Structure 1
Amino acid sequence: MFKMIKPKALTLGIILIFLLNPSNAWSQTNYSVLDFWKYYSDAENQLYKQQAEISFQSLAKRKESISKLHTKTDWEGRQGWVKGRLQESIGDFPERTPLNPIITKRIKKDGYSVEKLYFESIPGVKVTAAFFIPHGKRKNLPTIIYCSGHSDLAFRSDIYQHVILNLVKKGFAVFAFDPYGQGERLQYFDQHLGKSRFSPTREHSYPGAQLFINGSSTAKYMIWDGIRAVDYLLTRKEVDPERIGITGRSGGGTQSSHIAAFDGRIKASAPECYITTMEYQLKSGGPQDAEQNFPKGIQLGLDHADLLQVRAPKPTLMITTTRDIFSIQGARDTYEETKRAYKALGKEGNLLMVEDNAGHQSTLNNREAMYAFFQKHLDNPGNSKDEEVVIFPVEELYVTETGQLSTSVGSKFLFHLNSDRTKKNLVLLNEGRQNLNQHLINLKQKVKAISGYTETAKKAKLIFSGQTEFEAYFLNKYLIKEEGDKIIPFITFVPKHPMGGSVLYLDNMKDKESSEAYAIPIQMAQKGVTVIVPDLPGYGELGPGYLKGDAYFENTSYNQWFAGILNGKSTVAIHVEAIETLLQVCKTDLKLDDKEIMGISKGGFNSSLLHAAVLGVDFKGMLFLDPLLSFQSVVSDKNYNPAHMPFTVAGALPNYDLQDLSAAFAPKKLKIITESDTLAAEQFKKSCEFVAKRYESMDEANNFSITKINAAREAMNLINAFISDF
Structure 2
Amino acid sequence: MKNLKNLTLILLVSIFSLTFSNAQSTSDTNFRKPVTETIKKIETVFHITVVDDRGLLKGKELDYADWRIEQGNLEVSLANILVPFELTYFKQPDGTYQIRKYENHKVSVDKGKERLQYLTTLYSNVSDWEARKKEIKACMITSFGLDKTPAMPKSKPILTPKRIYKDYSVENIALEILPGVYTTGSIYKPYPLDKKSAVILTPDGHFGDGRYRKDEQYRCAMMAKMGAIVVSYDLFAWGESLLQFPTETHRNSIASTVQVLSGMRLLDYLSTQKNVDMSRVGVTGGSGGGSHTMFLGALDDRVTVTAPVVMVSCHFSGGCPCESGRGIHLCGSGTNNAEISAMMAPKPQLIVSDGKDWTLAVPELEFPFIQRTYGLYGKKDLVENVHLPNEGHDFGVSKRMALYPFMAKYLGLDLNKVKNAKGEIDESTCVIEPYDKLYVFGNKAENLPKNALKDINKLYEMFGEKNEKVYEVKK
Common fold: TM-score over 0.5? yes
C-alpha distance in structure 1 between counterparts of 2:105 and 2:220, whole Å: 41
Specify whether residues 51 and 84 from structure 1 end up closer, same or farther in structure 2 by C-alpha distance, changes over 3 A only: farther
Match of 1:312?
345
Following superposition, the deviation at residue 134 of structure 1 comes to 1.0
Match of 2:453?
412
Match of 1:461?
none
C-alpha distance in structure 2 between counterparts of 1:235 and 1:347, whole Å: 32
C-alpha distance after superposition, 1:627-676 (max 9, x if no partner):
xxxxx7x54x44279xxxxxxxxxxxxxxxxxxxxxxxxxxxxxxxxxxx
Matched ranges for 1:373-522 at <5 A: 373-383=406-416, 385-388=425-428, 389-402=430-443, 404=445, 409=450, 411-412=452-453, 415-418=456-459, 420=461
Following superposition, the deviation at residue 77 of structure 1 comes to 2.1
Match of 1:302, SS state, is: coil
Matched ranges for 1:50-69 at <5 A: 63-69=117-123
C-alpha distance in structure 2 between counterparts of 1:367 and 1:34, whole Å: 54
Asked if 1:352 is matched to 2:391, the reply is no
Match of 1:248, SS state, is: strand
Following superposition, the deviation at residue 298 of structure 1 comes to 4.0
Q: Check the 8 A contact 1:114/1:130 in 2, yes or no.
A: yes
Match of 1:342, SS state, is: helix
Specify whether residues 243 and 330 from structure 1 end up closer, same or farther in structure 2 by C-alpha distance, changes over 3 A only: same
Match of 1:185, SS state, is: helix
Match of 2:335?
302
Asked if 1:251 is matched to 2:288, the reply is yes
Match of 1:504?
none
The amino acid across from 1:314 in the alignment is K
Match of 1:72?
126
Equivalent of residue 372 in structure 2, options 314, 336, 340: 340
Match of 1:225, SS state, is: helix
C-alpha distance after superposition, 1:479-512 (max 9, x if no partner):
xxxxxxxxxxxxxxxxxxxxxxxxxxxxxxxxxx
Match of 2:240, SS state, is: coil
C-alpha distance after superposition, 1:415-463 (max 9, x if no partner):
14445259x557xxxxxxxxxxxxxxxxxxxxxxxxxxxxxxxxxxxxx
C-alpha distance in structure 1 between counterparts of 2:473 and 2:462, whole Å: 17
Equivalent of residue 279 in structure 2, options 233, 242, 246: 242
Range with bigger deviation, 254-263 or 290-299:
290-299
C-alpha distance after superposition, 1:213-251 (max 9, x if no partner):
xxxx42222101111011111111121100110111112
Match of 1:86?
140
Following superposition, the deviation at residue 174 of structure 1 comes to 0.9
C-alpha distance in structure 1 between counterparts of 2:297 and 2:440, whole Å: 26
C-alpha distance in structure 2 between counterparts of 1:106 and 1:74, whole Å: 49
Asked if 1:171 is matched to 2:227, the reply is yes
Q: Check the 8 A contact 1:133/1:172 in 2, yes or no.
A: yes
Q: Check the 8 A contact 2:113/2:314 in 1, yes or no.
A: no
Q: Check the 8 A contact 2:113/2:365 in 1, yes or no.
A: no
Specify whether residues 291 and 331 from structure 1 end up closer, same or farther in structure 2 by C-alpha distance, changes over 3 A only: farther
Higher relative contact order (Cα pairs below 8 Å, separated by 6+ residues): 1
Match of 1:17?
none
The alignment yields a C-alpha RMSD, in angstroms, of: 3.2
The amino acid across from 1:306 in the alignment is E
Match of 1:289?
320
Match of 2:163, SS state, is: strand
Matched ranges for 1:507-546 at <5 A: none
C-alpha distance in structure 1 between counterparts of 2:105 and 2:471, whole Å: 32
C-alpha distance in structure 1 between counterparts of 2:371 and 2:336, whole Å: 15
C-alpha distance in structure 1 between counterparts of 2:451 and 2:205, whole Å: 23
Equivalent of residue 157 in structure 1, options 205, 213, 227: 213
C-alpha distance in structure 2 between counterparts of 1:262 and 1:327, whole Å: 23
C-alpha distance in structure 2 between counterparts of 1:54 and 1:381, whole Å: 39
TM superposition score normalised by structure 2: 0.70
Matched ranges for 1:64-143 at <5 A: 64-91=118-145, 92-100=147-155, 101-143=157-199
Following superposition, the deviation at residue 315 of structure 1 comes to 0.9
Asked if 1:368 is matched to 2:401, the reply is yes
The amino acid across from 1:365 in the alignment is S
Specify whether residues 396 and 59 from structure 1 end up closer, same or farther in structure 2 by C-alpha distance, changes over 3 A only: same
The amino acid across from 2:427 in the alignment is E
The amino acid across from 2:382 in the alignment is N
Following superposition, the deviation at residue 378 of structure 1 comes to 0.6
Following superposition, the deviation at residue 37 of structure 1 comes to 5.1
Q: Check the 8 A contact 1:184/1:405 in 2, yes or no.
A: no
C-alpha distance in structure 2 between counterparts of 1:83 and 1:386, whole Å: 39
Equivalent of residue 271 in structure 1, options 299, 303, 308: 308
TM superposition score normalised by structure 1: 0.47
Match of 2:273, SS state, is: coil
C-alpha distance in structure 2 between counterparts of 1:167 and 1:382, whole Å: 9
Asked if 1:148 is matched to 2:187, the reply is no
Q: Check the 8 A contact 1:97/1:122 in 2, yes or no.
A: yes
C-alpha distance in structure 1 between counterparts of 2:284 and 2:347, whole Å: 14
Following superposition, the deviation at residue 396 of structure 1 comes to 1.2
The amino acid across from 1:139 in the alignment is K
Following superposition, the deviation at residue 276 of structure 1 comes to 0.7
C-alpha distance after superposition, 1:662-695 (max 9, x if no partner):
xxxxxxxxxxxxxxxxxxxxxxxxxxxxxxxxxx
Following superposition, the deviation at residue 64 of structure 1 comes to 2.3
C-alpha distance in structure 2 between counterparts of 1:413 and 1:303, whole Å: 33
Asked if 1:639 is matched to 2:472, the reply is yes
Q: Check the 8 A contact 2:285/2:308 in 1, yes or no.
A: yes
Following superposition, the deviation at residue 58 of structure 1 comes to 11
Following superposition, the deviation at residue 401 of structure 1 comes to 1.8
Gaps of 5+ in 2: 1-31, 40-54, 61-81, 89-100, 419-424
Identical-residue share of aligned pairs (%): 24
Following superposition, the deviation at residue 308 of structure 1 comes to 1.8
C-alpha distance after superposition, 1:107-134 (max 9, x if no partner):
2223222222211111110111211111
Specify whether residues 380 and 123 from structure 1 end up closer, same or farther in structure 2 by C-alpha distance, changes over 3 A only: same
Asked if 1:47 is matched to 2:86, the reply is yes
Q: Check the 8 A contact 1:304/1:334 in 2, yes or no.
A: no
C-alpha distance after superposition, 1:263-295 (max 9, x if no partner):
1101101011111113xx28xxxx501112153
C-alpha distance in structure 2 between counterparts of 1:53 and 1:163, whole Å: 33
The number of residue pairs the alignment matches comes to 375
Q: Check the 8 A contact 2:190/2:224 in 1, yes or no.
A: yes
Match of 2:256?
219
The amino acid across from 2:381 in the alignment is G
Specify whether residues 34 and 397 from structure 1 end up closer, same or farther in structure 2 by C-alpha distance, changes over 3 A only: farther
Match of 2:66?
none
C-alpha distance after superposition, 1:571-590 (max 9, x if no partner):
xxxxxxxxxxxxxxxxxxxx
Following superposition, the deviation at residue 331 of structure 1 comes to 6.5
Following superposition, the deviation at residue 79 of structure 1 comes to 1.7
The amino acid across from 1:83 in the alignment is K
Match of 1:457?
none
C-alpha distance in structure 1 between counterparts of 2:115 and 2:165, whole Å: 54
Q: Check the 8 A contact 1:355/1:366 in 2, yes or no.
A: no
